[in-house]
Structure 1
């Protein structure tokens, strides 16, 4: 237990990560650090799955970090996340609390667990001009030539993302990466496991619930605030398809069907990433997602007590 200075709760979307992380943190006198690439944005709540109520355990709110720290429309990235994580992790430890990392963004998780050497990449206007007008297929080929092992498929979801990913790869090749100031991390990594059919069922149920709770109104409010459709489409999944519906490009049934499929595909990519993490040397202890909350927490506490 003493050698472990972090617990990481991971898993695909709709598996109950936040609730488990909060309950575990409550047991460990800890605080939760979110590793979600979209929950950093203010005003993007239902679409990113910010289950604020999950942070309450027995009526007491468990402190959480790296949620609602950036305005919608901005572009947060893995470099910013790693920098913010280091600051928050050190601050939590300095107060004698135990940090619990929670999320499904594989690149963000690995930036911490494998201590990626990350540097901030400035815009390259000349390169952007050269890439302007190329199709997404062409941009994807350029990126894969630079980076044959393309783990992060979201890099090629849109032209803008692909151009940025190419820009980053060019910069990394031209500038030797400097060591980051990542503290020594010894994390117990726990994945929440559901079979494929149950995972699909949970995704569909949650999508319907969030639409009932006003997810369309949330996206419309963001558009009314001055964000362009292109800015929201950049964030993918819910924000992409709900925006396309609101601007008249998809009817409701088309939007629901396409979004449901996209989320299922996203969950599959998340699982592929986690399996890749294991192949790259990250040990993940998978626990049965069907277990009651107290049993899941109990299993993790037992893992913490085992000698390393």
Structure 2
């Protein structure tokens, strides 16, 4: 197959970013992040935005789709999909190799499995008109468009309902979309190893100021419910800071939630494989083995 993208995927805490940066350095590449929370500015420690990982042998590897939007704004699958192709074409135009890297299954699938996502004509004006309406009015519009919605989270907030309406109304193909043939390398050291790394990383991030990071967001008048909706670190630390749970409960519940998240990530990747996606699995973030897979399968032009 003539591949036109290299994807590095896997559950949380397995070293995807560092490996991808090493490979991008070796193969003259740039990285597009597929992480649904690293797109937000000021979510640094909690999302594992280890920007030092992008420096290889003193050289900064160009990365994209990190720190591109502000809270409390929403960022969704369609935003990712549209911006992915913008950066993909820029990287190719510069005669570099595009690497997609991350663990957000839906974002990865949308590209690797060539989802047919569309956008609304005059979306900005349409979105503004919807924002003038009440929650109940928006809910009625969405239920008229889609009487049997499967995703109940669409009703969590006005912004979620508006986005769901826009998705239903979308008819215009994404600009610059092309068919992607991705060479996929997965990292999976096994559940026990991942759990141990999650535990170590959680302690490290708490010591590095993750609680203070969430506290600073609350002090910037980001509503607790918006942070809770981000899930994992931001959910449990916010609940601790507003007095809903104790410090020990926060730590224990957060550890369990991250482990469950890692398990869901692997379930998603196995589902992709059942649907025909080929993934070359590594037990560790092994540069030499990954390099060998790429050299054996990817044709550079």
What TM-score do you get using the length of structure 1 for normalisation?
0.83
Tell me the distance in 1 between the aligned counterparts of 2:43 and 2:243. Answer: 21
Preserved CA contact (<8 Å) 1:232 1:243: yes
Alignment correspondent of 2:84:
85
Preserved CA contact (<8 Å) 1:127 1:167: no
- Give the drift of 1:296: 3.5
Secondary structure of 2:269 counterpart? helix
Secondary structure of 1:249 counterpart? coil
Aligned residues: 285
Please, which of 147, 151, 156 is the counterpart of residue 160 of structure 1? 156
Q: 5 Å matches for 1:110-189? A: 110-116=109-115, 117-119=117-119, 122=127, 123=130, 128-129=135-136, 146-147=149-150, 156=153, 160=156, 175=169, 177-181=171-175, 182-189=177-184
Secondary structure of 1:71 counterpart? coil
Please, which of 266, 281, 288 is the counterpart of residue 261 of structure 2? 266
- Give the drift of 1:165: 6.4
Unaligned regions of 5+ residues in structure 1, if any? 133-142
Preserved CA contact (<8 Å) 1:22 1:56: yes
Unaligned regions of 5+ residues in structure 2, if any? 140-145
Residues 1:11 and 2:15 are matched in the alignment = no
Tell me the distance in 2 between the aligned counterparts of 1:18 and 1:199. Answer: 15
- Give the drift of 1:77: 0.5
User: Would the alpha carbon gap of residues 246 and 159 (structure 1) be closer, same or farther in structure 2, given more than 3 Å must change?
Assistant: farther
Tell me the distance in 2 between the aligned counterparts of 1:95 and 1:171. Answer: 33
Alignment correspondent of 2:232:
237
Higher mean displacement: 24-33 or 114-123:
114-123
Alignment correspondent of 1:204:
199
Residues 1:221 and 2:253 are matched in the alignment = no
Alignment correspondent of 1:304:
297
Secondary structure of 2:32 counterpart? strand
Output one character per residue of 1:112-160: Cα deviation in whole Å (capped at 9) or x when no partner.
112222335855887941798xxxxxxxxxx99533xx7xxxx74x962
Secondary structure of 1:32 counterpart? strand
Preserved CA contact (<8 Å) 2:38 2:47: yes
RMSD: 2.7
User: Would the alpha carbon gap of residues 131 and 74 (structure 1) be closer, same or farther in structure 2, given more than 3 Å must change?
Assistant: closer
Tell me the distance in 2 between the aligned counterparts of 1:165 and 1:228. Answer: 16
What TM-score do you get using the length of structure 2 for normalisation?
0.85
User: Would the alpha carbon gap of residues 305 and 4 (structure 1) be closer, same or farther in structure 2, given more than 3 Å must change?
Assistant: closer
User: Would the alpha carbon gap of residues 281 and 167 (structure 1) be closer, same or farther in structure 2, given more than 3 Å must change?
Assistant: farther
- Give the drift of 1:301: 2.7
Preserved CA contact (<8 Å) 2:3 2:298: no
Alignment correspondent of 1:96:
95
Preserved CA contact (<8 Å) 2:9 2:184: yes
